[in-house]
């Protein structure tokens, strides 16, 4: 399994742009995101079709690990 990951790198919409070439070849994305994840997902949905799961972070109760399984541009 191939994985692309990032932490504190960029807003989700921009981050997905960087991850898209890797995900197009079958990788999944694992991104540590903070308390504004729902706002970031709403913004990202304007540019991307995303299939993702939110997992609770073990190190920060306000954060999540966003597991992006599928990603295509709108």
The rounded distance, in Å, linking the Cα atoms of 43 and 22 is 21
Separation of CA 12 from chain center: 6
What are the domain boundaries of the chain? 3-73
The rounded distance, in Å, linking the Cα atoms of 33 and 42 is 14
Is pLDDT at 23 greater than 90 in this prediction?
Answer: yes
**Res 8: pLDDT:** 86
Write the class of the CATH domain 3-73. Answer: alpha beta
Report how far apart the first and last C-alpha atoms of the chain are (Å, whole number).
Answer: 26
CB 31 within 8 A of CB 12: yes
Per-residue pLDDT tens over the stretch 24-74: 999 999 999 999 999 999 999 999 999 999 999 999 999 999 999 999 999
Reported pTM? 0.93
């Amino acid at each position: 399994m191939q994985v692309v990951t990032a932490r504190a790198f960029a807003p989700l919409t921009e981050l997905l742009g960087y991850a898209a070439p890797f995900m197009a070849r079958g990788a999944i994305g694992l991104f540590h995101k903070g308390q504004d994840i729902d706002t970031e997902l709403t913004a990202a949905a304007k540019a991307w079709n995303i299939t993702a799961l939110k997992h609770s972070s073990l190190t920060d109760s306000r954060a999540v690990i966003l597991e992006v399984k599928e990603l295509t541009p709108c």
